[in-house]
Amino acid sequence: MKDAIIQAFEESAKVKVAFVRDNVDKIVEVVQLIAQAFREGKKVLLFGNGGSATDASHIAAEFVNRFLMERPPLPAIALNTDVAVLTSISNDYDYTQVFSKQLSALGHEGDVVIAISTSGNSPNVIKALDVAKKNGMKTVVLTGGTGGKLANTADYTFIVKTKHTPRIQETHITLGHTICQMVDEELFGNHHK
């Protein structure tokens, strides 16, 4: 059992290091995109299903509350948190519209959308990206494996190149934390230890 535990941690670290080496320049661009959106009074809208839903909520919380440094709250909304909205759209229309209808209602031109799907094939995420693009929002996709149907649909796509869902999700949350930290530093300077 100990060997399996060590192997899980080593695999996670290996996947993350390979990912950041492939994507560091793109991460810088997305940090600058988000920082500029916040400067202009725009917001970040995040969403996903299952574990990716909690990742979306987690990253939104880091922006709205704080990450490491004390700073003003930043406008971020996870679209997977309102049970009444999710269930009414699913009931009256279709589950594939749970994020697209919310983006139509809450998103504006210049907002940044962060769509998370480990497979890259979630129909509700794909439909929401279509709405985001039609309405002039900037789009960022976090996915895995080969990227699935979402591989080339966004302004910025991050693909964790493994089929192992836990490793994909661990990399996504590390990416989310890193983006939060770098956005804070872009906007408010390096005031924390």
Which domains does the chain show, CATH number per domain?
Answer: 2-188 (3.40.50.10490)
Structure confidence at residue 191 (pLDDT): 52
- Note the pLDDT tens digit of each residue in 121-154: 999 999 999 999 999 999 999 999 999 999 989 9
Mean pLDDT within 15-33: 98
Which residue, chain included where needed, has tokens 């970040």?
44
The confidence score (pLDDT) of residue 190 equals 63
Summarize pLDDT for 98-130 with one digit per residue, the tens.
999 999 999 999 999 999 999 999 999 999 999
The overall pTM is greater than 0.85? yes
* Per-residue pLDDT at 192: 46
140: left (phi over 0), alpha (psi -120 to 50) or beta: beta
Mean pLDDT of 66-83: 96
Give the pLDDT confidence score for residue 89 in this predicted structure. 97
pLDDT in tens, 158-167: 999 999 999 9
Q: Is the distance from CB of 160 to CB of 176 less than 8 angstroms?
A: no
pLDDT score at 193:
41
User: Which ranges of the chain does DSSP label H, i.e. alpha helix?
Assistant: 2-39, 51-64, 83-92, 100-106, 123-134, 165-188
Over residues 75-83, the mean pLDDT reads: 97
Confidence check: pLDDT of 39 > 70:
yes
Q: Does the pLDDT value for residue 78 go beyond 50?
A: yes
Proportion of the chain above pLDDT 70, given as a percent: 98
